[in-house]
Amino acid sequence: MKAFVTGAAGFVGSTLVDRLLAAGHTVVGYDNLSTGRRAFLAEAISSERFSLVVGDISSQEQLAQSMLGCDFVFHLAANADVRFGLQHPKRDLETNTIGTFNVLEAMRTCNIRKIVFSSTGSVYGETAVVPTPEDAPFPVQTSLYGASKVAGESLIQAYAAGFDFQSWIFRFVGVLGERYTHGHVVDFCRQLFIDSNNLNVLGNGHQQKSYIYVQDCIDAIFCAIDSAAAKVNIFNLGIDNFCTVRDCVGWITEELALNPTIKFGTEDRGWIGDNPVIFLDTAKIRALGWSSTVSIEDAIKLTVRYVNNNREVALGSSENKPAVSEQKA
């Protein structure tokens, strides 16, 4: 295929690009490099089958110019600053909802009708059904991030009905692994690199979270594209297990061989809109033959090792703006 990947310089995006190239596909990457890192595409750029367009998904025109001739869109570009949605209420709407609309319209212009979309387990809000299946009760949103992703999913579904698009929508739990630059593991590492004796954790640490290793995540996407042929294919992507934030802190400090004083918060969640429990039912994707190969503990330790060995990349600035310090889980 000739694939168009938005968010191509991001953590998951660049890993997807490498995997697509390794599988023999041609790839056009599209990224505004606001949080993506050109360094993640170092290997890809050496391939004749890869090209990078530095562009923003706010420009329908540039999107359409760039994706002309492609036959498959992987739309991963997004504002993933879940925790800071309330400080910039328009950001999620603009990037995740209107941005997705722009991608869809550009696809229509270019007569491309296949799209993969990275959604999130956050769309289930604070569901009462755990582990949460894809057809859980109609959720109530608790974050602007979740709201913007539900809106993106819904637009894609309407384009499938109205314009004969075919779509694969993935609701991720947290993704971990090499090139992870953004979220609670990085935030904890950053704190410990500055002061190895103290660690502050948002929330009481009993939040239950699930994580998937990035290569397992890409395997699942490829599996679904190959095997699921409905117009709208929705899959939870996660692992058949969860951990608490306290487990996670233990594995991080163990991997770094540190023994800091840990100060937990008192709330049952890290911030407004944080889900105290994210644990998805992944029976649907597993029924296609996929299964995860890396445990949560190993995914966290691999991530810590990567961050520790690549401090400049993992903690450093992206090309255009400083990395946002945050603790996302």
User: What residues line the site for its own copies (CB under 8 A)?
Assistant: 85-86, 89-90, 93, 97-98, 101, 104-105, 108, 124-125, 134-144, 146-148, 150-151, 153-155, 157-158, 161-163, 232, 234, 272-273
For residue 115, the minimal CB distance to its own copies (Å) is: 14
Beta carbon nearer to its own copies, 180 or 279: 279
Based on its alpha-carbon atoms, the radius of gyration of the chain, rounded to whole angstroms, reads 19
Cβ neighbours for 233, distance < 8 A, ≥ 6 positions apart: 166, 167, 168, 169, 224
- Comparing CA positions, the residue from 55, 3, 15, 13 lying closest to residue 34 is 55
Beta carbon nearer to its own copies, 52 or 234: 234
For residue 150, the minimal CB distance to its own copies (Å) is: 5
For residue 239, the minimal CB distance to its own copies (Å) is: 21
Report the C-alpha gap between 229 and 218 in whole angstroms: 18
Residue entry with tokens 């445990």: 295
- Identify the sign of the CA torsion 116, 121, 124, 130: positive
For residue 174, the minimal CB distance to its own copies (Å) is: 20
Amino acid, res. 158: A
Beta carbon nearer to its own copies, 137 or 316: 137
For residue 298, the minimal CB distance to its own copies (Å) is: 31
Beta carbon nearer to its own copies, 140 or 287: 140
Report the C-alpha gap between 59 and 79 in whole angstroms: 16
Beta carbon nearer to its own copies, 50 or 271: 271
Beta carbon nearer to its own copies, 135 or 195: 135
Q: How far apart are the first and last CA of the chain?
A: 34
Report the C-alpha gap between 7 and 74 in whole angstroms: 9
For residue 215, the minimal CB distance to its own copies (Å) is: 28
Q: What is the phi/psi pair of residue 7, to 5°?
A: 70, 30
Q: What is the phi/psi pair of residue 266, to 5°?
A: -105, -15
